[in-house]
Amino acid sequence: MGDSEIAERALVAACAEGDAEAWEALRGRYHRTLHGALREAGAREDIDDLEQEVWARLLTRDRAALRDFRGGSVRAFLTQVARSVAIDHDRARRVRPPNAGEEPGTLASAAPNPEHHLSEHQERNRFAAALDAAASASENPARDRDMLRLHFEEELSASEIAGLGVGLTARGVEAVLRRAAARLRELLRHDEP
């Protein structure tokens, strides 16, 4: 392990402990990296807001993501978090509000009732939690979580996912998806109401 990698790990460890100076150093050092990663992941607008979302994710749950960092490339780690933020942002942007496209002032004739919306919301949350749990069992949980979301939620194929620069060939993505799908089925079966 090189001196720069040790220094990077020490910087992340200090951030995980709440060191404000280390946090500012990390933000300054990887500002451009995050902008590039967000653009590469498809974000075209709100780049500064999305960058703030990346930093916020690193601080959630008492800096759990930083504490879970096991070494390797800090750049790759932050790029994964940025990809995840961009995917979530894109998904949220595509969700259309009820009655979108209708003339203002018209009433929807067959709108689903609130219980239906609640049930759909709970089912989406259950599936998202299962995706996270399935990915957490892997060697690279952040990357695998993104690949699972791209496959199961965005319906991208293994070759399309590999083309996004996840660091695996299409066959590698297929292998990850196969293992995760088996774990996902098991998790959802045990989690049935």
Distance between CA 154 and CA 152 in Å, rounded?
6
Do residues 124 and 39 share a domain?
Answer: no
Lowest model confidence (mean pLDDT) among 14-23, 40-49, 89-98, 135-144: 89-98
Would you say residue 189 lies in a domain? yes
Domain of residue 191, residue span: 113-193
pLDDT of residue 116: 61
40-50 average pLDDT score: 79
- Asked whether residue 102 is domain-assigned, the answer is no
User: Between 141 and 192, where is the model more confident?
Assistant: 141
State pTM to two decimals.
0.48
Judge whether 5 lies within some domain. yes
Tens of pLDDT, residues 52-70: 888 888 777 777 777 777 7
Give CA–CA dist 78/74, Å, rounded.
6
Question: Are 184 and 131 in a shared domain?
Answer: yes
Torsion angle of alpha carbons 96, 149, 121, 98, nearest 10°?
A: 10
120 and 74 in a common domain: no
pLDDT at 90 over 50: yes
In this predicted structure, what is the pLDDT of residue 103? 53
3 occurs within a structural domain = yes
Ramachandran region of residue 108, left (φ > 0), alpha (ψ -120 to 50) or beta? beta
Task: Give the H/E segment covering residue 108.
Answer: none
